[in-house]
């Protein structure tokens, strides 16, 4: 079955102040291969938006572009705009290091530094010049609380992060990201390497975090998207074909490809 990629249903928001980030005509090339073909999406503040779609459809490529993580890959080119607070963060003169304090990322595999729990959270803060011990202690506590890990680690803050379970390590990585007080948190399949119980705790953490952050998450797990997200974007062959409220995507999508994908009849 092939689908008409010109058939689209993409919602937009009326109020500019409700939008945390949006892309316009975003295209990504790996060498000669155009992997993302001009995606326009708006992300609502304090909501969770899930990016779903088949393997190779461009979800990770698109997500990574949002905080310029594709910059380091040689031969990669990203055109179009990524608008954050009226600034196009895709422009060459942007200080990527500073921008990533506002737009943070958590990866698929938990990747804590081989340091203590405490140092994992304070490392970047110290590099940014924060020296006040009381302030650092306070940020460690609030970040771990927000990531729902504090109660489990508060007596072991100086033990190695590598001794934590996979789910705990991933929540530590979330705590590490939010310690920088970003506005936007990007997550690429953050629970795919975790068991169901750890996945549940990470999901619960994300739902609690949306009060303070705008969250964009790539997931292969349909139930996860349905459980935690407010909006869902369906990617197919480097295009976003459908973007709507999650409950509409999962109950009455307007696009055939989306319907087949969410009902498991894809391809
Ligand atoms: N580093 C890279 N170099 C070259 N091509 C790449 C690279 N990363 C991704 N691609 C290509 O870009 C396209 C989109 O890949 P991407 O990883 O974004 O898809 P995805 O939707 O995240 O897939 P999955 O669900 O398997 O993670 C694919 O054709 C892929 O082969
Ligand atoms: Mg991916």
Across the 267 residues of the chain, what is the mean pLDDT of every consecutive 10-residue run? 90 96 98 97 98 97 96 91 97 95 92 97 93 97 92 97 94 95 95 86 92 96 95 98 98 96 88
Span from the CA of 225 to the centroid of ligand 1 (angstroms)? 20
pLDDT for the residue numbered 185 = 97
Give, using CA atoms, the residue closest to atom 24 of ligand 1. 55
- What is the spatial distance between Cα 35 and Cα 169, in angstroms, rounded to a whole number? 31
pLDDT of residue 88: 98
Residue of 50, 57, 189 to test ligand 1 pocket, by largest number of atoms within 8 Å of CB: 57
Ligand with an atom nearest the CA of residue 52 = 1
For ligand 1, the distance from its centroid to the CA atom of residue 39, given in whole angstroms, is: 15
* Residue among 200, 209, 199, 207 nearest 175 (CA): 209
> How confident is the model over 147-162, as pLDDT tens digits?
889 999 999 999 999 9
Q: Is the pTM of this model over 0.75?
A: yes
Pocket of ligand 1 (CB under 6 A): 30, 35, 53, 55-61, 73, 220
């Amino acid at each position: 079955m092939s689908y008409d990629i010109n058939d689209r249903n993409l919602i937009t928001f009326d109020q500019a102040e409700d939008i945390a980030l949006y892309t316009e005509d975003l295209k990504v090339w790996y060498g000669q291969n155009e992997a993302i073909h001009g995606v326009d999406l708006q992300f609502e503040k304090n909501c969770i938006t899930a990016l779903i779609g088949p393997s190779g459809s461009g979800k990770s490529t698109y997500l990574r572009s949002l905080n310029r993580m594709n910059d380091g890959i040689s031969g990669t080119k990203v055109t179009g705009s990524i608008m954050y607070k009226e600034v196009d963060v895709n422009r060459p003169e942007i200080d990527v290091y500073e921008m990533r304090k506002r737009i943070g990322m958590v990866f698929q595999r938990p990747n804590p530094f081989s340091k203590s729990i405490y140092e994992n959270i304070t490392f970047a803060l110290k590099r940014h010049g924060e020296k006040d011990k009381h302030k650092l202690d306070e940020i460690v506590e609030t970040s771990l609380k927000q990531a729902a890990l504090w109660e489990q680690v508060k007596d072991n803050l100086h033990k190695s992060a590598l001794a934590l379970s996979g789910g705990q390590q991933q929540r530590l990585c979330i705590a590490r990201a939010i310690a920088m007080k970003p506005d936007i948190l990007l997550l690429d399949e953050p629970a795919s390497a975790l068991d169901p119980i750890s996945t549940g705790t990470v999901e619960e953490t994300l739902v609690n975090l949306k009060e303070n952050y705008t969250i964009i998450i790539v997931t292969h797990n349909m139930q996860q998207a349905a459980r935690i997200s407010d909006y869902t974007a369906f990617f197919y062959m480097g295009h976003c074909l459908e973007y709507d409220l999650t409950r509409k995507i999962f109950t009455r999508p307007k696009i055939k490809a989306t319907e087949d994908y969410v009902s498991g009849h894809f391809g």
